[in-house]
A = this chain, B = another copy of it.
């Protein structure tokens, strides 16, 4: 019976914890959810009472097993709905985030399991992020930032680090999609930008873009 609000807090804490390994701070959660730090502080007490997080005053929080299970389930639902929106309803990958944010709170594992079957058990969402399975296991993909590749090396686009609208639209413009083969042709010392070959077209990609593109080097 976790409410939308509780689910959103748990998801935010989960995602912040991925980046910091000491856990999520009050301020970071407040920032991420757009609510005041005072509200977050209040809520952390409640989540702790429900044994969803481990909370000690003035310290960063971590999810309990119970809290993590809920968070991962929300992420599973979010990503499956994103696949549905892109694959079946023809939304573009930069348009689906907010809708999935609503759909992820629909409460039915029967529904989500059937949806997964209907979508043919996709392993990644439209941004390349892995979809947790029914048991909450996230099969992470071996992937590196495009900056790790040297001249002459080839990678296959697996995902993006930055999934902001602006970046996704930029990639769309450049006709760079998940699965595309990318070969590094040249790296310029000057600004670290790369000239790459994708399909039969050549692009110049700034270091910033390369940092935000994930690739794998084996098929």
Q: Which residues of A contact B (CB under 8 A)?
A: 85, 88-91, 99, 102-103, 106-108, 111, 114-115, 118
Contact = CB atoms under 8 A, between A and B. Distances in A.
- 10 A-B pairs with least C-beta separation: A89-B114, A102-B106, A89-B118, A99-B108, A88-B118, A99-B111, A103-B106, A89-B115, A90-B114, A102-B107
A111 B96 CA distance: 10
For the complex, would chain A's binding face be called helix, strand, loop or mixed by DSSP majority? helix
Contacts of A89: 111, 114-115, 118
A111 B108 CA distance: 20
A99 B106 contact: yes
Nearest to A107: B102
Contacts of A111: 85, 89, 99
Nearest to A90: B114
Nearest to A111: B99
A88 B115 CA distance: 9
A114 B102 CA distance: 17
Contacts of A90: 114
A70 B85 CA distance: 24
A19 to B, nearest CB: 30
Contacts of A102: 106-108
